[in-house]
Amino acid sequence: MTFFFLAFFILYVAFAIFFVRSTWKTSSKLQRRLVIAFFVLLPSWDMVLGYIVYYASLPFVPKVAVYETAETDGIYYEGDYRNTVLIVKDWEGMEILVGPFDTNDFMRGYQYVESLVTGIQKGGLGKKVTVSPPVAYRCLPRNKEIGSPSQVLSKCAPAGDVRSRYVVKTKRLKFARNEMNFLEIYNRSTGQLLGEYGEVIRLGYDFIPFFIWLDWSEGNPERASCPENSRLWDFQYDVLKLRR
């Protein structure tokens, strides 16, 4: 990939110089500026736009607000990140459905997790099958000891009726090199907003901002985010306390 990147970079720069020089005498001053701007922005437009969107959104998007807390035995999710269940094999080789979430809910002691599922996927790289209309699933820990730090798997099945009185709604927006995540927590009976969270992220680049919008980067580019430490995966615990 490094050799291909360098070769492509050299060819692109050489072509840009050749094109500008060959049209320099037959073009106006404005046309020359536009051509140069085109060759500069074509490989890096997403980074330029990413900076603009990131700093323009800082006064509006980031938010960490708790309006009221509640106690519950389980949490119900709707929206991005937690709307797909996976078909995997357990330790005995049997295929099971596992939850569309990390295991923090069970590790913290919650007895069940529910989610409005819109897709089922076999393994991490398998084809995703759309579930339409969406179906609510309930997931239970595989271990008898709830809250065990060794808890890594859950077992999920269609729930019928949602048990939790509260819903955590998540939404993800992605544009250029930016990502915005929103999380809202409601009382399902009254519609009351209990808390909300928002964050904006700007992805950087590995070496130079050269056609990274083609997604050929193999590294982990630096990123800027606000809030600096993401609360996307644990903010709900500030609002929905475990019932003791």
pTM confidence score? 0.77
- Does 120 fall in a domain? yes
Q: What is the pLDDT of residue 125?
A: 67
Condensed to tens digits (0 to 9), the pLDDT of residues 18-39 reads 777 888 777 788 877 888 888 7
Q: Say yes or no: 38 and 155 in one domain.
A: no
Q: What is the pLDDT of residue 190?
A: 95
What is the per-residue pLDDT for 31? 79
Structure tokens at 188: 């399902």
Q: Mean pLDDT highest for which of 11-20, 105-114, 191-200, 209-218?
A: 191-200
* Residue at a domain's end among 163, 186, 212: 163
Residue 236, SS3? helix
Kind of pairing between the strands at 84-89 and 112-122 = parallel
Model confidence at 146, pLDDT cuts 50, 70, 90, reads very low
pLDDT of residue 216: 57
Do residue 212 and residue 192 come from a single domain? yes
Verify that 158 and 177 share a domain, yes or no. no
Tokens at residue 172, please? 């993800």
**Is 190 part of a structural domain of the chain?**
yes
The pLDDT assigned to 194 comes to 98
60-93 pLDDT, tens digit per residue, is: 999 999 999 999 999 999 999 888 888 776 665 5
| Residue 156 and residue 180 in one domain | no
CA-to-CA distance for 185 and 165, rounded, in angstroms?
A: 11
Give the end of a domain, one of 163, 178, 194: 163
Kindly state whether residue 225 falls inside one of the protein's structural domains.
Answer: yes
Residues 85 and 136 in one domain: yes
Pair 174, 159 in one domain: no
Among the candidates 114, 132, 163, a domain finishes at 163
pLDDT of residue 104: 79
Residue 75 lies in a domain: no
Question: Which has more confidence, 147 or 116?
Answer: 116
Return all residues near 107 (Cβ < 8 A) that are at least 6 apart: 147, 148, 149, 151
Q: Note whether residue 147 is domain-resident.
A: yes
Domain extent, residue 205, equals 2-64+170-242
Residues 132 and 177 in one domain: no
Residue 151 is predicted with a pLDDT of: 45
Q: Of 77-91, 134-148, 167-181, 204-218, which gets the smallest average pLDDT? A: 204-218
> What does pLDDT average to over the chain?
81
Which is higher by pLDDT, 30 or 168? Answer: 168
Domain total of the chain: 2
